[in-house]
Amino acid sequence: MLGKKKWMSSLAVLLTGALFVTGCASNANSNQGNQDTRKTMTIAYSDGGQTLDPAEASDLTSDTMTMNAYDQLVTYGVKTVDGNQKADTEDIKPMLASEWKVSADGKTYTFILRDAKFHSGNPVDAESVVYSMNHVKNSQNGSFMYQMASIKKVTAKDDKTVVIELNRPNHMFLQMIGMYTFSIIDGKTVKTKPKDYLKTNTAGSGPYKVDSWDPASQAVLSANTSYWQGAPKISKVTMKFIKEPSNRVMLLNKGDVDLAIEIPPKDVDSIKKNAKLNVTSTPSNRILYFAFNEKVKPFDNAKVRQAINYAIPYDQLVHDVMYDQAKQLKSSIPSSMPGYTEDGFVYKHDLNKAKQLLKEAGLPNGFTFDFTLGSGFDDWKDDAVLIQAELRKIGVTMNIKPMARPEFLTAVNQKTLTTYISKWTSFVNDPGYHLGLLLYSKGSSNAFSYNNAQVDKLWEQAEIEKDKQKREALYKQMQVLINADAPWVYLYEYNRVVGSKKEVKGYITYPDECIRFFPLSK
Amino acid sequence: MFGYILRRLLYMIPGFIGIILITFVLSRVLPGDPAVMIAGEQAPPDVIAKIRVELGLDQPIYIQFVDYVKKLFQGDFGTAWHTGHTVLQDFSSRLPATVELTLASIFIAILIAIPVGIIAAVKKESILDHISRVFSLIGACVPIFWLGLMFIFLFYSKWGFFPAPMGRISDGINPPTAITGLYILDSLLSGDMIAFKDSLMHLILPAICLSTGTMAIVARMMRSSMLEVIGQDYIRTARAKGMRESKVIMKHALSNAFIPTLTLLGLQFGFLIGGAVITETIFSWPGVGGYITDSILATDYAPIQAFTLMSAIVFSIVNLIVDVLYGALDPRIRYE
């Protein structure tokens, strides 16, 4: 007993001693300065991000961090739609390239670089552009964008002049090199660092530097005060990673974050009621569609697919599932994309018409099919249940089979499913990109290998058409043909919902959904 | 004694080998291709194929296993693609958060459950006993995610007693100088009262939330083993000697009744590390739990394997410690 007491008392002495010794020394918070809250901003994100390498980034958090740490050769203009600021992807503006010339055959672009400096102090020169383009070419994820941009060769003509040669004229080229994938990297600095340096560090010339990034909690970005466009108004941006959507809403309501992304549609009304907050809900390029495997009977019959199209409760999906934070999709491309048309879209919720089409298809008593529900999105589940209920009314039984996301994505790639719903976001705001990947017969993301020779021909024609008007006319013809074939049911196009404090200004919607911090202020 | 501990440590090795093998096979048998997840839903097949080759996923599974074990022996747990960091880096930044949360919740559970269990046993069938039974039942049944959301809603959103559920410490406050990695301990050791107060406020809600289940089980266990001991002859003898009731309970009964509870606490520690998953997600606590959930959702093999192995090691060692503690509590237990 005595031994125990002795032991306890020596521990107490030790702890007090430790407190005494260290307590007098300065600690991490002994020199707390007050920060000007008007110059800092906290933004709630959901995921923590995967990489800081612009060529490998493929999730919103990574994209946003790289977008703000790097500049690109060109960028997009801004227009105002319904009172909200929005990127105008058809208006290409100078960024690191102050001007450029296109050769008569449309295959050679010559860029003149402006005087700008990387965070390291190195100048942005032609060599760094060559380095950056090669970096994209040799990357895992970005290499496919490099191919899509049809880049053949990148050469430094002199210190400030870069020549990019293309394999063929490509009307999407300028728009594509404005994406984060084609960020201009400080090659000189990276070459002196270990191999995977770019994965966890940035070496750009952008308005912000990534001071710290911990995918578990937060990323802190500080302003690049010697930015070539002037120092950003917000000197420090903290991106907080908050998984739980209801917590993001609560934090915003309490004023603990200045801005929160991915607000659940059901919470939009509660935020609108808060006099201190704003909700910006703008159409995005994210669409939701229901895909049929035409190799599985009876979906080989266009009449059956059309019947399903008539049985979908479109208004209910938009209103009851999405709380009106979405819009019915009426073509294979999102409505904000150039060349969009609703021509040939005849479908509305009409069960009699659906029944009649089934009868014409020789299935008056309906049929049974499997539907695969990928996990991870609450609205998909509600959509599936509502669609199931409507289909039952026309005698069609839809068996919903839930599947975890990794397994779902693998099955989608292998084209082994019968039907499913899936979303798609075209970061390149162009039907050539969108339809080329999704509905061109050789498109790599063509859900069930939809194949219409006429559609293919029109797409190929549009690819090399230099005239914008003529090109868009071709894309319109394609959409009409696709509408008649009904390879999908078009469900809805999502709104991008961002909640912010009233005083937060300068939010602009981009097709890649990344927030540019530079124009932000409060 | 030391011979015993050494033997127990040696016995753990075959268990660990089994765990390495089983987690490896299980994670590969599960459907879902990590290359597809890495590449994202827009990537064409050739990009996916390239990633498969780079990760070695195109190799037969036994070659992948040999590679994995080889690296393991070099101390390389692999890289988590969904964070871009090595598993060791991720663990070293997140493990202290989970350990802090788990220790705090065990501490709270002991602090409340043991006295409650003792009182419930001593005052059997009294109103206190019934109250403790009802609360134990609630504690054991309430789902953590619901409790967590309610805590946040009430104590943060509505009344504002606690700071925003964003991590371990507020934005404007620097984390304490790292000594153990546990903010509470580090801030005390460095005399940083600002960080101490703030990190304590961040810790309380998730720790209580995580401790409810343990609290309920421990209280019930304590009550029943206490009841059993109180009925023993030596307690009657102690009372017959004229010893004060409080001394009878605290000295003679408690040390004997505590053994089964200790076993339970040892087991609970392992469960809590696993159970922290939900709590960590709800409170945005930057620990291992949330990390593992993300890894599973992303089919990120390396962290899942490392975590399973680590949990097995922690679990085995905690239980060894518990077994050794038995000897301290009960002199009749001897190890040879």
DSSP string covering B203-248: HHHHHHHHHHHHHHHHHHHHHHHHHHHHTSHHHHHHHHTT--HHHI
d(CA A251, CA B266): 36
Residue A37 β-bridge partners: none
From residue A71, how far is each of A52, A124, A447, A516, B221 by CA, in Å?
Answer: 14, 10, 34, 11, 62
A58: chain B residues, CB-CB within 8 Å? 39-40, 42-43
Task: List the one residue out of A286, A341, A340, A349 whose CA is nearest residue A317.
Answer: A349
pLDDT in tens, A48-99: 999 999 999 988 999 999 999 999 999 999 999 888 999 999 999 999 999 9
Q: What is the mean pLDDT of chain B?
A: 87
CB contact at 8 A, A314 and A348: yes
Residue type, B115: P
Q: Tokens representing A325? A: 């934070």
Task: List the one residue out of B302, B315, B317 whose CA is nearest residue B88.
Answer: B302
pLDDT in tens, A387-397: 999 999 999 99
Neighbours of A213 (CB within 10 A): 24
B188: chain A residues, CB-CB within 8 Å? 19
Please indicate whether, in this complex, the C-beta atoms of B31 and A410 are within 8 angstroms of each other. yes
Q: Tokens representing A124? A: 């942005």
pLDDT score of B83: 86
pLDDT score of A357: 95
In chain B, whose CA is at the least distance from the CA of A249? B157
B183: chain A residues, CB-CB within 8 Å? none
> What is the CATH architecture assignment of B90-329?
Orthogonal Bundle (1.10)
Contacts of B216 by beta carbon, 8 Å cutoff, 6+ apart: B113, B135, B136, B137, B138, B139, B140
d(CA B177, CA B183): 9
pLDDT score of A2: 42
Burial of A106 (0-12, 13-18, 19+ CB in 10 A): middle
Ranking A30-34, B178-182, B190-194 by mean pLDDT, the lowest is A30-34
- pTM, two decimal places: 0.86
Element of type H or E holding A158: strand A151-158
B165 touches chain A (CB under 8 A): yes
pLDDT score of A36: 67
Closest residue to A407, CB basis, from B31, B97, B167: B31
CB contact at 8 A, A100 and A91: no
CB contact at 8 A, B314 and B241: no
A27: chain B residues, CB-CB within 8 Å? 176-177, 187, 190-192, 195
CB contact at 8 A, B275 and B144: yes
A29 touches chain B (CB under 8 A): yes
- Preceding amide of B206 cis, omega within 30: no
d(CA A462, CA A470): 8
Mean pLDDT of B311-325: 85
B282 touches chain A (CB under 8 A): yes
A25 touches chain B (CB under 8 A): yes
Beta-carbon contacts below 8 Å between A and B: 175
| Nearest chain A Cα distance for residue B81, angstroms | 7
pLDDT at A3 over 80: no
Closest residue to A35, CB basis, from B41, B172, B175: B172
Would you give the DSSP letter of residue A214?
Answer: E
Would you give the DSSP letter of residue A136?
Answer: H
Query: Which range, A313-322, B30-39, B282-291, is most confident?
Result: A313-322
Greatest alpha-carbon span in chain A: 97
Contacts of A469 by beta carbon, 8 Å cutoff, 6+ apart: none
A253 touches chain B (CB under 8 A): yes
pLDDT band of residue B42 (cuts 50, 70, 90) is: confident
The rounded percent of chain A whose pLDDT value lies above 90 is 77
Q: How would you label B83-113 residue by residue, b for 16+ Cβ within 10 Å and e otherwise?
A: bbbbbeebbebbbbbbbbbbbbbbebbbebb
Q: What is the mean pLDDT of chain A?
A: 91
Interface test with A, best of B83, B100, B197, B278 (most A CBs within 10 A): B83
A30 touches chain B (CB under 8 A): yes
pLDDT score of B151: 93
Mean pLDDT of A208-227: 94
A214 touches chain B (CB under 8 A): yes
The rounded percent of chain B whose pLDDT value lies above 70 is 99
pLDDT at B178 over 70: yes
Taking chain B, what is the end-to-end CA distance rounded to the nearest angstrom? 6
pLDDT at A4 over 80: no
Distance of CA A413 to the CA centre of its chain: 20
pLDDT at A31 over 70: no
pLDDT in tens, A327-351: 999 999 999 899 999 999 999 999 9
Interface test with B, best of A29, A180, A236, A258 (most B CBs within 10 A): A29
B37: chain A residues, CB-CB within 8 Å? 405-406, 409
Task: List the one residue out of B139, B263, B262 whose CA is nearest residue B209.
Answer: B139
A144: chain B residues, CB-CB within 8 Å? 43-44, 46-47
Neighbours of A517 (CB within 10 A): 24
pLDDT in tens, A347-363: 999 999 999 999 999 99
pLDDT band of residue A418 (cuts 50, 70, 90) is: very high
d(CA A36, CA A450): 56
In chain B, whose CA is at the least distance from the CA of A196? B84
pLDDT in tens, B197-237: 999 999 999 999 999 989 999 999 999 999 999 888 988 88
Residues 221-240 on A with a CB inside 8 Å of B are 238, 240
The CATH class given to the A7-243 domain equals alpha beta
pLDDT at A26 over 60: no
pLDDT band of residue A414 (cuts 50, 70, 90) is: confident
Please indicate whether, in this complex, the C-beta atoms of A28 and B176 are within 8 angstroms of each other. yes
pLDDT score of A99: 95
pLDDT at A496 over 50: yes
pLDDT in tens, A221-237: 999 999 999 999 999 99
Domain ranges within chain A, ordered by starting residue: 7-243, 284-494
pLDDT score of B315: 83
Would you give the DSSP letter of residue B178?
Answer: P
pLDDT at A110 over 70: yes
d(CA A112, CA A302): 53
d(CA A509, CA A516): 9
Please indicate whether, in this complex, the C-beta atoms of B177 and A23 are within 8 angstroms of each other. no
From residue A148, how far is each of A171, A174, A476 by CA, in Å?
Answer: 11, 12, 22
pLDDT at A189 over 60: yes
DSSP SS3 for A164: strand
pLDDT in tens, A237-281: 999 999 889 899 999 999 999 999 999 999 999 999 999 999 999
> What is the CATH architecture assignment of A284-494?
Roll (3.10)
pLDDT at A413 over 50: yes
pLDDT band of residue A1 (cuts 50, 70, 90) is: very low
pLDDT at B184 over 70: yes
pLDDT score of B100: 92
What count of Cα atoms within 13 Å lies in the side-chain half-sphere of residue B41? 19
A25: chain B residues, CB-CB within 8 Å? 190-191
B236-241's contacts with Cβ under 8 Å and 24+ in sequence apart are none
Mean pLDDT of B292-299: 86
In chain B, whose CA is at the least distance from the CA of A411? B32
pLDDT at A34 over 90: no
pLDDT at A28 over 80: no
pLDDT at B59 over 60: yes
CB contact at 8 A, B176 and A28: yes
pLDDT at A400 over 90: yes
Looking at this predicted complex, what is its ipTM?
Answer: 0.82
Interface test with A, best of B50, B156, B171, B281 (most A CBs within 10 A): B171
Contacts of B238 by beta carbon, 8 Å cutoff, 6+ apart: B248, B252
Domain ranges within chain B, ordered by starting residue: 32-76, 90-329
pLDDT band of residue A10 (cuts 50, 70, 90) is: low
